[in-house]
Amino acid sequence: MNLRAVWAIYRVEMARAFRTVLQSIISPVISTSLYFVVFGSAIGSRITEIDGIAYGAFIVPGLMMLSLLTQSISNASFAIYFPKFVGSIYELLSAPVSYLEIIIAYVGGAATKSVMLGLIILATAALFVPLRIEHPFWMIAFLVLTAVTFSLFGFIIGIWAKTFEQLQLVPLLIVTPLTFLGGSFYSIHMLPGIWKTITLFNPVVYLISGFRWSFYGKADVSVGVSLGMTVMFLAICIAIVAWIFRTGYRLRN
Amino acid sequence: MHPAASDLYEITFSSRPYFSMSSIISISGVTKTYATGFKALKEINLDIERGEIFALLGPNGAGKTTLISIVCGIVNRSSGTVTVDGHDIGRDYRAARSLIGLVPQELTIDAFETVWATVNYSRGLFGKAPNAAFVEKVLRDLSLWDKKDSKAITLSGGMKRRLMIAKALSHEPRVLFLDEPTAGVDVELRQDMWAMVRRLREDGVTIILTTHYIEEAEAMADRVGVINKGEIILVEGKAELMRKLGRKQMNLELRAPLAAVPDGLSHYSLELSDDGNQLTYTYDNQSDRPGVASLIRDLEAAGVQFRDLDTKNSSLEEIFVNLLRQEP
Ligand SMILES: Nc1ncnc2c1ncn2[C@@H]1O[C@H](COP(=O)(O)OP(=O)(O)OP(=O)(O)O)[C@@H](O)[C@H]1O
Ligand SMILES: [Mg+2]
């Protein structure tokens, strides 16, 4: 294992985040605050609570997941797409590093950033609403698992993408709608029958539900199913990455 | 047969055609067909000797970068094997790649990192322990030390090129590939680079460079390989190459201008300058009868008088151009 290489890549990825530290911290703080103003206050004045949880508090896990998913994907996809785009990837390909080491470094870097982001959002949210975390271990577990899974997913997108457009396409057309329809701002029990069934095909529902359970002990679907779905999605991403690296897909001509 | 003699027989007449104790890179039967179906390399066999400076010459699109990229692990070969110091680049890629430093043709660096971070990153990527003193030395040698805290984006083109070299040297490679290192580099910097390449060679580093500047190969290389349309058409020691394929030219400065080459001299390959003041005779210096003496006699007989005469060897460039012209 070329741990020095893993560390070198990881450090550069983290340095990129800290170089834009203002942006990395301020933008989630601002957007979280805006969500609270718009959703928490405007909607919260009509819906006072869901499942016995104050609406403002109810949306916190969903908000965290929303940012976690989009940021994991964009961090990881950009991190590998950019060197491909400017050509500096030659160095990575010519270095004595294995594909596994490349993944650990890039995905690790992207996931670390998203976890930190999630915690910043949590801290911001705590300023607006009283929070309660019933299962801190599972909260962290879901946080890390989701960050890793979607960083891996982003990594795959970054390798697949040939243009900046394609890089934006998947997050824009698939991930964002799925997240908004994933029960961040409502309980899926509030949906009319057929929509509830359709929603169950949305993987994000399971992530948010499980994550919310770790906060308030209440879930839309059972926690076991949530965890199973998250792990399954991780496994699918790992399988795709393994295939990419076995074939050298879009990395080595 | 005496056992020792049979051993000798084995060594001398070994069926392995590309086996050589001194070669550090061994390329055999390497082909490359790109996804587009374009066959960029056709069956390349090439040995690079330990500690030499090898110049790979060839016109645009000949396959130089493709070949280098295969050895360095950036491009997958379609067939064939490559070993670096005995390590197969596929099976034993870690060992093979740790020995190699690459300065690619294109300037591609992360623009937002500082010079210092960029070079240390390269060192780490190749699994070497941090060594600030060594990195400092590399940067000083390349006159980049006072730029160490600058971001790459603020460097000039020539400095970026030196930064690419610094990255390649940061992990103490034993083999250095320079893909057109002096393209777009001013004369002074080019001289500096040549000096650096010679210093590296003195330290035992093997250097493979591609270039369009043939004077560069002429000044630096121990051996020259010529590649054209994906085939190595010649590999030769530079000195032998110039001797074998080199042609000589004799220039005669005439006392009085001529309107045309005199009839009696038409069987010599003579060329008259436009102003008629200079006569150039091109001949093969390997020939038994170069014809210099007889030409001078015949000139006298024809009444052509000259003030001065000089001879020169043709340059590698002329050899190169001639070689490619002969190719179908
Ligand atoms: N990724 C690719 N896909 C398809 N064809 C390619 C690819 N890369 C290079 N080629 C083709 O392979 C041939 C050899 O290219 P290569 O870059 O190795 O040439 P070169 O000798 O380095 O040329 P130059 O002196 O211009 O740098 C060219 O015809 C080129 O068009
Ligand atoms: Mg080239």
Residue-by-residue DSSP string for B64-118: HHHHHHHHHTSS--SEEEEEETTEETTTTHHHHHHTEEEE-SS----TTSBHHHH
List Cβ neighbours of B2 (8 Å cut-off, separation of 6 or more).
none
Q: What is the pLDDT of residue B315?
A: 66
CA distance A193 to A162: 41
Confidence of residue A93 (pLDDT cuts 50, 70, 90): very high
Confidence of residue B3 (pLDDT cuts 50, 70, 90): very low
Q: What is the pLDDT of residue B7?
A: 42
ipTM passes above 0.90: no
The answer to whether residues B323 and B316 touch, using CB atoms and an 8 Å cutoff, is: no
Per-residue pLDDT averaged across A124-136, rounded? 87
Record: contact B108-A5, CB cut-off 8 A? no
Q: What is the pLDDT of residue B316?
A: 67
Burial B92-119 (b: 16+ CB within 10 A, else e): ebeebbbbbbbbbbebbbbeebbbbbbb
Q: Using CB atoms, pick whichever of B34, B125, B129 lies closest to residue A91.
A: B125
SS3 content of chain A, % helix, strand, coil (to 5): 80, 0, 20
Which stretch of B210-214, B248-252, B280-284 has the lowest confidence by average pLDDT?
Answer: B210-214
CA distance A167 to B308: 71
Chain B residues with beta carbon closer than 8 angstroms to that of A252: 73-76
In 3-state terms, what secondary structure has residue A144? helix
**Is the four-CA dihedral B97, B100, B101, B107 of positive or negative sign?**
negative
Whether the pLDDT of residue B10 is over 60: the answer is no
Whether the pLDDT of residue A196 is over 90: the answer is no
Bridge partner list, A120: none
Q: Higher model confidence: residue B266 or residue B120?
A: B120
**A234 alpha-carbon distance from chain centroid:** 12
* DSSP state letter for A188: G
φ/ψ of A110, rounded to 5, equals -65, -40
Closest Cα to atom 28 of ligand 1: B61
CA distances from B116 to A20, A223, B122, B214 (A): 19, 48, 10, 33
CA distances from A34 to A27, A121, A175 (A): 11, 12, 21
Is beta strand B53-57 parallel, antiparallel or unpaired with respect to B206-211? parallel
Q: Which of A68-72, A212-216, B43-47, B243-247 has the highest mean predicted lDDT (pLDDT)?
A: B43-47
Q: What is the pLDDT of residue B16?
A: 40
The answer to whether residues A214 and A206 touch, using CB atoms and an 8 Å cutoff, is: no
The answer to whether residues A138 and A43 touch, using CB atoms and an 8 Å cutoff, is: no
CA distance B96 to B73: 9
Chain A residues with beta carbon closer than 8 angstroms to that of B121: 8-9, 11-12
Ligand 1 in reach of B34 Cβ (< 6 A): yes
Q: What is the pLDDT of residue A181?
A: 83
Locate tokens 């003579």: which residue? B270
pLDDT in tens, B55-64: 998 888 999 9
Confidence of residue A37 (pLDDT cuts 50, 70, 90): confident
Chain A residues with beta carbon closer than 8 angstroms to that of B109: 86, 88
Whether the pLDDT of residue B150 is over 70: the answer is yes
- A96 shares contact with chain B (CB less than 8 Å): yes
Q: Which helix (H) or strand (E) holds B216?
A: helix B214-220
CA distance B96 to B88: 7
CA distance B51 to B65: 21
Mean predicted lDDT score pLDDT of chain B = 85
CB hemisphere CA count around A76 (13 angstroms)? 32
List Cβ neighbours of A107 (8 Å cut-off, separation of 6 or more).
A76, A148, A151, A152, A155
Q: What is the pLDDT of residue B17?
A: 41
Closest Cα to atom 19 of ligand 1: B61
To the nearest whole angstrom, how far is the Cα of A1 from the nearest Cα of chain B?
9
Record: contact B74-A252, CB cut-off 8 A? yes
- In angstroms, what is the span from residue A109 Cα to ligand 1's centroid? 34
Per-residue pLDDT averaged across B103-118, rounded? 88
What's the CA dihedral at A24, A25, A30, A32 to 10 degrees? 100
In 3-state terms, what secondary structure has residue B139? helix
**B139: buried, middle or exposed (CB in 10 Å: 19+, 13-18, 0-12)?**
buried
Beta strands (DSSP E) in chain A are 49-50, 53-54
Closest CA to B46 of B99, B82, B10: B82
Q: Higher model confidence: residue B167 or residue B287?
A: B167
Q: What is the pLDDT of residue B20?
A: 47
CA distance B168 to B128: 13
Count other C-beta atoms under 10 Å from residue A244's C-beta.
Answer: 18
| B44, B56, B64: residue to mutate for ligand 1 pocket, most atoms within 8 A of CB | B64
Q: Higher model confidence: residue B184 or residue B85?
A: B85
CB hemisphere CA count around B263 (13 angstroms)? 0
To the nearest whole angstrom, how far is the Cα of A250 from the nearest Cα of chain B?
11
Q: What is the pLDDT of residue B239?
A: 81
Q: What is the pLDDT of residue B19?
A: 45
The answer to whether residues A252 and A246 touch, using CB atoms and an 8 Å cutoff, is: no
**B215 alpha-carbon distance from chain centroid:** 10
CA distance B46 to B257: 51
Q: Higher model confidence: residue B311 or residue B21?
A: B311
Sort residue A52 into left (φ over 0), alpha (ψ -120 to 50) or beta: left
Chain A residues with beta carbon closer than 8 angstroms to that of B96: 96
Whether the pLDDT of residue A126 is over 70: the answer is yes
CA distance A226 to A210: 5
Ligand 1 in reach of B40 Cβ (< 6 A): yes
